[in-house]
Every structure is written in structure tokens, then in C-alpha cells.
């Protein structure tokens, strides 16, 4: 008993110290440094994590939507340990079994002929390299990307991003041009049906291409299902229409699958829902559940051949790091052997979809429910008719803060962005835990009762 008490006291003291040191020395991303109060996490397992006071939380965020197989998966941990004992690191110019096997497994699941893998450290650098490849392949310079998107925090990636995080770093001379993708709930084209939204979005894109000059456009990058910007499923036919426009004008199509890839949407890659093969596909996050940083670009035969006898001018010191690749091999094998992608799809159809639609019946301020697989969002509005969002653009409202505080108070960590709550738990979560989280969300919405 005394030992247990000693452990708890030691852990609390460690947590307090970690928090103090963090506030003194750690500079946090996307934050006003003195306005944040980061939670100290002392341990985590599966879909749960614990703070410094031993409070337990159900992690419905998968962190930044990357712990697809949850925390501390024993097979991934063991693979990293085994690889560390064997060979911790080796530069990209060498071949290594973990790297080769990771590339083979990734290529076996990407669609079409995307059989060659360039490894990066994460998603933003994967997108930067994909664009460089497209520019060198086509000899053109412009890149088209959608307004409602997030492509990463490095310079070009943030320029391609549509959301307001781009504004402070965008000097307008980067060769990136934005267009509107389809989003029926807040249609930029005033459409009222999915069919119309699709057609008008494609006509708009065709005009943008014509006015920008197709001969200047190297690539079009899009998230196959946009994530951070609101989990917006493209209407049937849209991705095929984009593929067709890219083909007609010799534009490289880059599918950003950094968030939506590796089972998140109930297929290996979200682009499969549109039955389209891109020229380049970027990935990160779910490839190894984020246990060691890893991202990459899967490359088609045609683009690969551009660099068959001409050097690709780019690389990263830690490209294809063995520890990260060993984690990827273990992750992909677990996904294959345990039917995790099918599980993710089933949860979407039988659990998240029905439960979130039930919540919308109960809570007046849920304006829209969207999603597929383990990738869902509820959009909160002050008025269902006008669809007035609960938060000002780019900000967060007192009501949103009240809901988040209520959820946390009940032991749920939800992913909030603008006026939305994204339901994005680990994709291998037990159905019972998924249902517990949804019921906590229900209670949190009732607790906040700001209507």
C-alpha cells in the first residue's frame, strides 16, 4: 500500500516537473506560447491515455489522427525494439531489410502502378517532394490545390494548404493556385444536390485550369477525402472527373493520403472510394501509427522513369529510417492479419454513422454529420436553417470550449477544429470502447447545453 502511494507521489512529482520544464523550454507548434496548458501524458495503452494525476482518457483523436493502431501496440513496440537491437540506423544510400520490406508492403497496397516508394520523415515533406517530382517530370511550375485543405506546415506545404494557417506565411508568389472542391453542406457553387455540386465543381476547376494556362500547371494536389478541413466526402464521380481533367492537360495528380490513408476510411487508401489511380500518392501518420516519424511518396512507373537515368535532386538524412520502417512493417502486417481495414469500415457503417445521426436527432446544434470508416465529423451550428457555424472562421467559440471541457471532464478527448468535432479514434478500437466514447460525447453535448 505504502509502495503504491510512493509510486503515485513520484509520478505526480515527475508530471509536475515535466509540465514546468515544458512551459520553460518547449516552444509549441501553432500556439501562443503563454496561452497554452499542455496535458502531461505519463502512459498510454490502446485507445486510452493517462495524465499526471492518473486520470484516464479515451483518445478519440488518435492524437493528430495517426495512432491508427492505438498506443503501445505490442507488435509494433517489439518490432522497434528488435530493429534497435539489430541496426538502429543506416543512411538512405544503403539498402536495408526493414526499408525494403516496408516499401514492398506499401507498394502492395497502393492502387495501380504506384510501386516505387520515396521515404520522408512526415507528411509535409512528402508533399514537398511530390510537387518537386511533378515539376521536374512536367517541366512546369504551378500547383493547384483546394481552399479547404491541409497539406502540412513547411513552406510549400503550408502555401498549398487552404485553411487560414496559410495566411501568415503566404507571400503570394509561390506558384500555388487555389480552387474550390465540392462541399454540398456549404456549397461554394450554390448547388442543392450532390450531382449538381459535382458537375459545378468540375466546371469551376476546368475554368481555373484554362485561365491559369494548362501548359504552366505541373500538379494538382488534393486530399482524397479532406480531413482537417472537415471530412468532406467528394460526391460520386468527382475524383474521376479530376483525373480526366489532369489527363487531358498533362497535369500530375497527387493524392494526399497523409491523414486518410492506411485504413482510416475503411479502405487501404481513400482514393479507392473514387476508383481512381493518382500519379503520386503521399502518406505518413497511419503507415506506422506514428510510433517513429515516417512519411513518403508512392510513385507511378511513368514518373519513376523520369528519374531512371537522371538523378532525383532531393533527399533527407533520415529517409527510410530503419526504426520507422520496422514499425511500418509491423503495422501493415497487423492490419493485414487482423482485418483492421475491414473493422474500420464496419465501425463506420454500424457504429459511428448510426450513433452520430442519432446524436443529431437529439442535439439541435448538430448541423451536419459526415464520414466514412473511422473518419467522421459533426458540424455544430447555432441555427440549422442558416447553418451559422458555432465558431468564427479560424477561431473557437465559448460554446465549443464548453463542449470540449465537458467531454474532457467525462474522460473523453475529442478532436476539435473550428466549429467541428471530428470522431477519429484508433481504427482498431474495440466496438465497446467506440460506443463508450460516443455516449460520453452525447453526455458532453448535453452538459454544455448552451442552446
Cell numbers of 209, please?
485550369
Stretch that binds ligand PLP, among 256-264, 375-383, 399-407, 431-439 (CB under 6 A): 256-264
Is the Cβ–Cβ distance between 204 and 179 less than 8 Å?
Answer: yes
Q: Does 128 bind ligand PLP (CB under 6 A)?
A: no
Q: Does 276 bind ligand PLP (CB under 6 A)?
A: no
Is the Cβ–Cβ distance between 378 and 359 less than 8 Å?
Answer: yes
Is the Cβ–Cβ distance between 289 and 66 less than 8 Å?
Answer: yes
| Among 46, 52, 70, 123, interactor with ligand PLP by CB under 6 A | 123
Closer of 259 and 347 to ligand PLP (Cβ)? 259
| Among 256, 272, 368, 379, interactor with ligand PLP by CB under 6 A | 256
Cell numbers of 130, please?
511530390
For the chain, the helix, strand and coil percentages under 3-state DSSP, each to the nearest 5: 45, 15, 35
Q: In what order do the strands lie in the sheet with 48-51?
A: 41-45, 48-51, 56-59, 412-413
Per CB under 6 A, contacts with ligand PLP among 210-249 are: 223, 227-228
- Residue 278 has a CB neighbour count (10 Å cut-off) of 30
Closer of 124 and 351 to ligand PLP (Cβ)? 124
Closer of 284 and 406 to ligand PLP (Cβ)? 284
Closer of 122 and 425 to ligand PLP (Cβ)? 122
**Bridge-based pairing state of the strands 217-223 and 252-256:** parallel
Q: Does 377 bind ligand PLP (CB under 6 A)?
A: no
| Among 46, 52, 122, 182, interactor with ligand PLP by CB under 6 A | 122
C-alpha 244/C-alpha 42 separation (Å) is: 50
Per CB under 6 A, contacts with ligand PLP among 139-158 are: 150-152
C-alpha 275/C-alpha 423 separation (Å) is: 25
**Bridge-based pairing state of the strands 252-256 and 280-283:** parallel
Closer of 157 and 444 to ligand PLP (Cβ)? 157
Stretch that binds ligand PLP, among 119-127, 174-182, 267-275, 413-421 (CB under 6 A): 119-127
Compute CA 329 distance to the chain's CA centroid, rounded to the nearest angstrom. 20
Q: Does 259 bind ligand PLP (CB under 6 A)?
A: yes
| Among 143, 284, 380, 427, interactor with ligand PLP by CB under 6 A | 284
Task: Enumerate binding residues for ligand PLP (CB under 6 A).
Answer: 64, 122-124, 127, 150-152, 223, 227-228, 256, 258-259, 284, 295
Amino acid at each position: 500500500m505504502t509502495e503504491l502511494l510512493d509510486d503515485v507521489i513520484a509520478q505526480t512529482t515527475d508530471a509536475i516537473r515535466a509540465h514546468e520544464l515544458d512551459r520553460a523550454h518547449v516552444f509549441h507548434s501553432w500556439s501562443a506560447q503563454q496561452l497554452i496548458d499542455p496535458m502531461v501524458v505519463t502512459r498510454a495503452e490502446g485507445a486510452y491515455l493517462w495524465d499526471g494525476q492518473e486520470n484516464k482518457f479515451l483518445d478519440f483523436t488518435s492524437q493528430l489522427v495517426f495512432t491508427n493502431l492505438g498506443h503501445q501496440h505490442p507488435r509494433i513496440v517489439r518490432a522497434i525494439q528488435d530493429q534497435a537491437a539489430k541496426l538502429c540506423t543506416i543512411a538512405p544510400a544503403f539498402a536495408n531489410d526493414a526499408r525494403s520490406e516496408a516499401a514492398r508492403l506499401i507498394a502492395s497496397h497502393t492502387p495501380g502502378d504506384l510501386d516505387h516508394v520515396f521515404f520522408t520523415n512526415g507528411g509535409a515533406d512528402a508533399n514537398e517532394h511530390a510537387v518537386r517530382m511533378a515539376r521536374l517530370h512536367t517541366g512546369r511550375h504551378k500547383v493547384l490545390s483546394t481552399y479547404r485543405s491541409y497539406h502540412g506546415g513547411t513552406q510549400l506545404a503550408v502555401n498549398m494548404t487552404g485553411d487560414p494557417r496559410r495566411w501568415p506565411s503566404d507571400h503570394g508568389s509561390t506558384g500555388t493556385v487555389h480552387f474550390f472542391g465540392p462541399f454540398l453542406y456549404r456549397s461554394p457553387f450554390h448547388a442543392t444536390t450532390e450531382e449538381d455540386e459535382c458537375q459545378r465543381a468540375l466546371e469551376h476547376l476546368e475554368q481555373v485550369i484554362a485561365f491559369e494556362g494548362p501548359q504552366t500547371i505541373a500538379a494538382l494536389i488534393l486530399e482524397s477525402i479532406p480531413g482537417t478541413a472537415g471530412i468532406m466526402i467528394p460526391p460520386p464521380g468527382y475524383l474521376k472527373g479530376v483525373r480526366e481533367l489532369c489527363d487531358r492537360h498533362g497535369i500530375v495528380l497527387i493524392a494526399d493520403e497523409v491523414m486518410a490513408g492506411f485504413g482510416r476510411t475503411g479502405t487501404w487508401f481513400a482514393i479507392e472510394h473514387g476508383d481512381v489511380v493518382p500519379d503520386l500518392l503521399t502518406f505518413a501518420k497511419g503507415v506506422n501509427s506514428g510510433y517513429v516519424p515516417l512519411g513518403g511518396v508512392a510513385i507511378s512507373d511513368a514518373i519513376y522513369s523520369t528519374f531512371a537515368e537522371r538523378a532525383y535532386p532531393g533527399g533527407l538524412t533520415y529517409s527510410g529510417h530503419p526504426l520507422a520502417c520496422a514499425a511500418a512493417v509491423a503495422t501493415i502486417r497487423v492490419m493485414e492479419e487482423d482485418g483492421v481495414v475491414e473493422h474500420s469500415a464496419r465501425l463506420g457503417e454500424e457504429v459511428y454513422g448510426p450513433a452520430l445521426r442519432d446524436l443529431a436527432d437529439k442535439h439541435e446544434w448538430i448541423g451536419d454529420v459526415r464520414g466514412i470508416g473511422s473518419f467522421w465529423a459533426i458540424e455544430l451550428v447555432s441555427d440549422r436553417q442558416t447553418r451559422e457555424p458555432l465558431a468564427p472562421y479560424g477561431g473557437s467559440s465559448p460554446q465549443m470550449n464548453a463542449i470540449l471541457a465537458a467531454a474532457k471532464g467525462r474522460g473523453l478527448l475529442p478532436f476539435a477544429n473550428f466549429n467541428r468535432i471530428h470522431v477519429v479514434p484508433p481504427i482498431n478500437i474495440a466496438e465497446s470502447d467506440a460506443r463508450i466514447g460516443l455516449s460520453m460525447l452525447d453526455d458532453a453535448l448535453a452538459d454544455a447545453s448552451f442552446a
